[in-house]
Every structure is written in C-alpha cells, then in structure tokens.
Amino acid sequence: MIFRFNGGALRRRLLPNRWDFVAFPLIIGSIALIAVMFRQTELPIGTLQSSPVSLSPSNLPEYAMRTTLRMLVAMLASLIFSLVYGTLATKSRRAEKILIPVLDILQSVPVLGYISFTVTFFLALFPGKVLGAEMAAIFAIFTSQAWNMAFSVYQSLRSLPRDLSEVSQGFHLTPWQRYWKLDIPFAMPGLIWNMMMSMSGGWFFVVASEAITVGSSTITLPGIGAWLALAIARQDMQAIWWVTLTMFIVILAYDQLLFRPLVAWADKYRMETTRSQQAPQSWLRNLMRRTRLVHRTMTLLGLVFATLSRLRLAGSPASQPQRKANPLRRHARAVDMLWNLLVLALTALVVWQVFAYISRDVTLVQTGHVLWLGLITLLRVLLLTVLCSLVWVPIGVMIGLRPALAGVVQPVAQFLAAFPANLLFPVFVIVIVRYQLNPDIWLSPLIVLGTQWYILFNVIAGTSALPNDYREVTANFHIRGWQWWRQFVLPGIMPYYLTGAITATGGAWNASIVAEWVQWGDVKLQAHGLGAYIAQTTANGDFPHIILGVAVMSLFVTLFNRLLWRPLYAWAENRFRID
C-alpha cells in the first residue's frame, strides 16, 4: 500500500482565502483600538484639564470609540458578574435569601449614588493617572448594566424545565458539566437580549459617568457623554444633532458587529423539538464561517472550551435524591433558622449604621418629607410601568414571533433605548416654559425612557424562546384571539415579562433623577419627587442627605419588589413553568 502526502491540499487549508482578507481588518482594528485606548489610561490625570472636551465634530470619532470601549469593558464585567451571581442565587437556597434582596437594593441605588462614593476610591487606587477616573466611569456604567443581566440569569435558571434536569441526571453530569452543557445554554437567549438592554441602559447614564460632578470636584473624560453634557450647558443645538448622529452610527455598528451575531448564534439553544422556518441571520457570522484561517482558529478555541466543559470537576455526578436522611437534612430547619437570624442581624446592623450617620444632620421632619417625595415618585413609576406594559407587550410579542422583523427592529429599538433623556431637555423645557405647564405632569414622560425598553426586550426574549412545536400545536388546533393570548403567549412569556417589569421599575427610579430635575442652559425645571431630591443633593455634595435619599429609594424599591413582584414571580414560576 502506497501513501501519498498531498502537500498542496494541506497548504490550501492553511492559506487564507478572500474572506479572511475581509475579516482580518475587523479583528486587527479591534485589537488596535483596545491597545490605543489602554495607552490613554496610563497618562497623568492632569491631561484631562490640559486637553478639555471640545465640541469640534472632528473629535467625535475618538470620543465615540472611547465611550464604546468603556461600555464594552463594563459589559464584559457585567457578564461575568451576572453568571456568577445569578448561579449562586439559584443553586443555594440560603444564599438566595441574601443575594436577591441585595440585588433589589443594588438596582434601586441610583447611578449618582454610586458615583458619589466611588470616585474618591478609584482615584486613590490609581493615584495621578487617568486610569482611576476611567475605572470610576466604567464602574458607573457597570451599575447600569449588571443588575438586569443578573436577574435574567436567575430567572432562566429558576425556570429550567424539570425534564432537562432529569436528562442531565441520567447522563451522570457533574455540576460543572451541567452548568456548561445545560444551565448556560438554556439561559443564553434571554441573557443576550438583556445584554442589549443593558448596553442601551449604559448609554442612558453615560453623561453622568463621563461628566462626574460631586460637590466641588469635577472630572470630565473625553467621550460622547462629556460632549453631550457640554452641549447642554452651552445650549448648542448643532452639537446635539452631531452627537445624536454619532450615537446612531455607533449603536448600528455594535448591533451589526456584536449583538446580531450573538442573537443568531444563541438561536441554536432554543428549547424546541421542531425547527423554526425563520432563524435570525447575521452577515458577520456568515462571513466568519466562510473564512479559512479565522474559522479554523475559532473552531480550535471551541474545541478547547468544549474539552474544558466536559471535565468532571465540581464534585460527583448529579444523582437522584437518596432516601436516606443524613444528619444535615434532619437539622436543616434549625440551620435555616440560624441563617435567617444572621441575615436579620446583619440587616439591622446596616440599617443602624446608616441611621447613626444621617441622624446627626437630618431631622425627623426632613425624613418625613423625603418619604413623601418617594411616594410621589412611586406613583409616577407605577403609572408609567402599567402604561408601558399595555403598549409594549403586544408589540414585543409581534416582534418576537417574526425573526426577520426582529432583525429590522433590533437596531432601531436599541437606538431608542439608548437615547438619553438629556437630548429631549430642550424640547421639554421650551414647551413647558412657553405654555406654562405643570412640571410634575409634563416631566414625567422622561421616565419612560428608562422604563419601557426593559419590558420590550424581555418580552421579545420570552416570545423568541417559545418552543416552535408549541406554536405549531396552537396553529393545528386553530387557537386564536384572546384564547391564544390567555393559554399560550401570556403563560409562556410571563416569567420574562416579570423580569422586565422588575428591572423596569428599577430603571424608572434611576431615570427619575434625570427626569425630575431638568436643566437647559440657565433654565431649570423641577418636579416634586425623590429623583429631584437626590440630583440636587448630589450636585451640592451633601453626603448625609444623599445617603438619606438613596436609602429611601432602596427602601421603596425593595418593599415593592418583596410585596408585589416577587410573589407574582413565584406564582408565574409554579403556574406557567414549561416541563
């Protein structure tokens, strides 16, 4: 037998093709962008004052790249945080009792509240360098992204079908293998849609993260947010139009280069036994598949990851529950009681420390006034959440059932979700002042910008995750109209909607800080509410009153989640779980 070595075929496999020459510039450009931006962080912090932000349109490409890189770094940190945090909250019943209430509190703390106390820390951590200010900005963006994604992972893992868990036990998967083979794939479609929403949420607060003002300290980082803050202060409408156009181009770019490929890739993880005829498409994903060297490199990385995910780590294989009761199970009730007491003690300690700090400068009358302002903002948040649900749930279902339509609507929805309320200040201020309207009513629509998109994106994610075979059953049995909504769609999307509603209320509370205290040049409009109170005290650097406002906001959001959203969430999980 004679073996012939085909060297020509091997060389052809190793040589790049024409698609590689298209893909390589994208990859090299991304690496170069990261390298250049990282080098900027090593400069002395004095360069921020010596090279102030300019409203020249020629600076916008650089500002856009720096803002986008900050948001992508924050997104990566948010992804890691959400996977770890959501998994711990799902796998450990005792950890869940701490982590989920803490998550409620974290999402209720406004971005300005984080900035007030983290700027000094990061500047001291990296003294004399721009990196400290960059880390403060990235952390502020992180706080506007991470909580929504963590809730998404938690919701997905809690609603994991029992039959899939039984299959993993039948294959004797270890916890490590189950996590990468079952948990993460099942959570991925919803997580990606929430990543898009979180990215847009970061744009909403990019002004606060890049133009940081706390008391007498002001730090301005070159970026779209700093440009926008300067344009608003100078009432420069031309600059606002330029930054709006730049935002649209940037959002369209990362939609096409990042999220559209991710949505198309995650479609394979949908839970269904029959394939949908319309699957999400991505020109970039198709391009990478046609390349030779890039595709082989990505395939090699995929094999490495698959090998790591098959390692039998993290304990013994999952098995059926044992009938023998061990001593820990016999004393589980006592352990739970001790754990609950420990949690209550820690909570009481934190509350006491906050009370001791603010009681020196805040009177009981002022506290009552802040609570009243919180009730006013709560009414706005509730009303706008209901209105947004009535509008966006039907629209989200329509988009989610049509992948081709979702591909068209996706970048538009991301742009509208990322559209900062600050850009609408001129319109609202001019109209309210000219017609002498009531700011308490007419500033409220600005809160919608921080509310409606969480509901829309989660409803789209829930509708997209509906099994295609279920859709075919409803079509075969001619289930239509209200019966179709009541027996198929609403039960299927309810956990996703509630996740969106929970994060929507948190987003609305944060948006109230921007919406209830509006400034356009020298003209200032203020609505009665907790958001305006926090915005004013932050601008004044009044830390005891900042803590009071943040504490009251956290109290309202936590109680509202505990008394309404969590019971509804548990009901939907038990009532509408797909098994």
Q: How far apart are CA 90 and CA 289, in angstroms?
A: 36
Q: How many domains does the chain have?
A: 1
Q: Which residues of 103-131 are buried (b: 16+ CB within 10 A; e: fewer)?
A: bbbbbbbbbbbbbbebbeebbeebeebbb
Is 300 inside any structural domain?
Answer: yes
Cα atoms in the 13 Å half-sphere on the side-chain side of 290: 12
Residue 513, pLDDT score: 79
Residues sharing a CB contact under 8 Å with residue 119, sequence separation 6 or more, in sequence order: 133, 136, 212, 214, 217, 219
Residue 322, pLDDT score: 46
DSSP state of 83: H
DSSP string of 295-359?
A: HHHHHHHHHHHHHHHTS--SSSPP-PPPSSPPHHHHTHHHHHHHHHHHHHHHHHHHHHHHHHHHT
Is 1 inside any structural domain?
Answer: no
Q: Report the Cα 48 to chain-centroid distance in Å.
A: 29
Is 332 inside any structural domain?
Answer: no
Residue 395, pLDDT score: 92
Q: Which residue has the tokens 């302002």?
A: 373
Helix (H, G, I), strand (E, B) or coil at 215: coil
Backbone angles phi, psi at 465, to 5 degrees: -85, -5
- Helical residues (DSSP H) of 235-292, grouped into ranges: 237-254, 260-266, 283-290
User: Alpha-carbon dihedral of residues 24, 26, 31, 37, nearest 10 degrees?
Assistant: 160
Q: Evaluate the CA torsion angle 212, 217, 221, 227 in order and state its sign.
A: positive
Instruction: Output the domain CATH number for residue 505.
Output: 1.10.3720.10
CA distances from 533 to 95, 111, 364 (A): 34, 14, 16
- The answer to whether 497 touches 395, Cβ cutoff 8 Å, is no
Q: Evaluate the CA torsion angle 565, 570, 574, 577 in order and state its sign.
A: positive
Is 520 inside any structural domain?
Answer: yes
From the list 91, 203, 104, 204, the residue with the least C-alpha distance to 158 is: 91
Digitized pLDDT (tens) for each residue of the chain, 579 residues in all: 454 545 555 555 666 777 777 777 777 777 777 777 777 777 777 777 767 788 888 889 889 888 988 898 999 999 999 999 999 989 888 788 788 878 877 776 766 667 766 777 888 888 878 888 888 888 888 988 898 899 889 988 888 888 888 888 888 888 888 888 889 988 888 888 888 878 877 776 777 788 766 555 577 888 888 888 888 778 888 988 898 889 888 888 888 888 888 888 888 777 655 555 566 778 778 887 888 777 777 788 878 887 887 777 655 565 444 444 455 455 667 766 777 777 778 777 877 877 777 777 888 888 899 999 999 999 999 998 899 999 999 999 998 888 778 777 777 777 777 666 666 767 777 788 888 888 888 888 888 776 788 888 889 888 887 877 778 888 888 888 888 898 888 888 888 898 888 878 877 887 787 788 887 767 778 888 998 898 888 777 777 888 888 888 888 888 887 788 778 877 877 776 655
Residue 28, pLDDT score: 78
Q: Which residues of 13-36 are buried (b: 16+ CB within 10 A; e: fewer)?
A: eeeeeebbeebeeeeeeeeeeeee
- The answer to whether 172 touches 319, Cβ cutoff 8 Å, is yes
Q: How far apart are CA 542 and CA 41, in angstroms?
A: 30
Largest Cα span, the chain: 97
Give the global pTM. 0.77
- The answer to whether 110 touches 508, Cβ cutoff 8 Å, is no
Residue 420, pLDDT score: 66
Q: How far apart are CA 81 and CA 139, in angstroms?
A: 12
Q: Which two tokens stand for residue 180?
A: 């990468």
Question: Judging by beta carbons within 10 Å of its beta carbon (0-12, 13-18, 19+), is residue 85 exposed, middle or buried?
Answer: buried
Is 532 inside any structural domain?
Answer: yes
Residue 12, pLDDT score: 58
Is 32 inside any structural domain?
Answer: yes
Is 6 inside any structural domain?
Answer: no
Domain around 88? 16-269+280-319+345-575
Give the CA angle between residues 42, 47, 51 to the nearest 5°. Answer: 135
